[in-house]
Structure 1
Amino acid sequence: MSQGQPRFITAAGFAKLRSEYEELFGTERPKIVETIAWAAANGDRSENGDYIYGRKKLREIDRRLGYLAKVMKAAKVVDPAAQESRDQIRFGATVELADEDDARRTLTIVGDDEADASVGRIGWSAPIARALVGARVGDERIVGLPAGEKSYEVIGIRYPT
């Protein structure tokens, strides 16, 4: 997580992070602590699988809780529906693109912590998102991808209402 850079996120993305935090802190962690206490009461901890696994799982949960807390503290919730400049690609825009072969794809630019490329949700710091920000319908952008450069034309821009 870089210092100084705001960590943009949609309200839905923030709610999902908070929900995960609450589930881990309120449900999962107490269950693991209970399992560890029960396993510790059974005696020799060096060969006690429940105890060893429980401690490992507790560390994983605590690491994730720390990460989620840090992300939520740094998050700047942005409402894409409030975007005034709707003719340009900005955070929260859903964009329809066409490549050189006229293959179409639709992407939504979201916070990096809520990105999921498999459903077209691209983090705003991804190379394709950075290349598209500021573009208007009809603009062409060249994106440097691992497989080489690719050219995209902006076909449509939508924002939630």
Structure 2
Amino acid sequence: MKSNLITRAGHDLLVAELKHLWHEERPEITKKVNWAASLGDRSENADYQYNKQLLRKIDRRVRYLGKRLEELRIIDYSPEQAGKVYFGAWVDIENELGEEKTLRIVGVDEIYDHHPQHISIDSPMARALLSKQVDDEVEVVTPSGKKCWYINAIRYELREEASK
């Protein structure tokens, strides 16, 4: 089961996507479908077929976003989180080979913006990092075996709190 947590920035992106689809893309595609339908035989009309398919895709996404936004719980930064890894944290980690990564723990709905540093709260790495602090060692079980990582830094985007 996927979690219903989301950062304020992630929530704002989903709301913006929904508005864009509903107020801009959908009306534009609807016009194209109506124009193509007015040309007659729809069975051999590529414009009609393509735009009708696109309209269905937009409608599915609009329905999904509408339902999902009702389920999501926005998690804002709280001063009690300082110094420990919690939801929304940016974490700098390093392994014994000296490889470094910077990750942000976010909700599953925020992974789809294809940000290479975002990891899901439900991922093994995020689960291992939660509640840890700088200089802690975490062990993550991966398909290729156990990996050890050291936490070098933890920070939060405080601008999210200011946008309330």
Q: Above 0.5 in TM-score? A: yes
Q: Which amino acid aligns with 2:80?
A: E
Matched AA of 1:107: L
Please state how far the C-alpha of 1:118 moved relative to its aligned partner: 4.6
Instruction: Show CA shifts across 1:81-128 (max 9, x none).
Output: x24131221001111111111221111111211125654121211221
Task: Please give the root-mean-square deviation of Cα atoms over the aligned residues, in Å.
Answer: 1.7
Q: Following superposition of structure 1 onto structure 2, how do residues 6-155 of structure 1 map, counting pairs within 5 Å?
A: 6-80=3-77, 82-115=78-111, 118-155=115-152
Number of aligned residues: 157
* Cα distance in 2 for residues equivalent to 1:118 and 1:27: 25
Structure 1 unaligned residues grouped into runs of 5+: none
CA shift, 1:7, in A, is: 1.1
Residues in 2 aligned to 1:75 and 1:137: alpha-carbon distance in whole angstroms: 29
Determine if contact 1:6/1:74 at 8 Å carries over to the other structure: no
TM-score by length of 2: 0.88
Percentage of identical aligned residues: 40
TM-score (norm 1): 0.89
User: Alignment partner of 2:9: what SS?
Assistant: helix
The Cα shift of 1:149 comes to 2.3
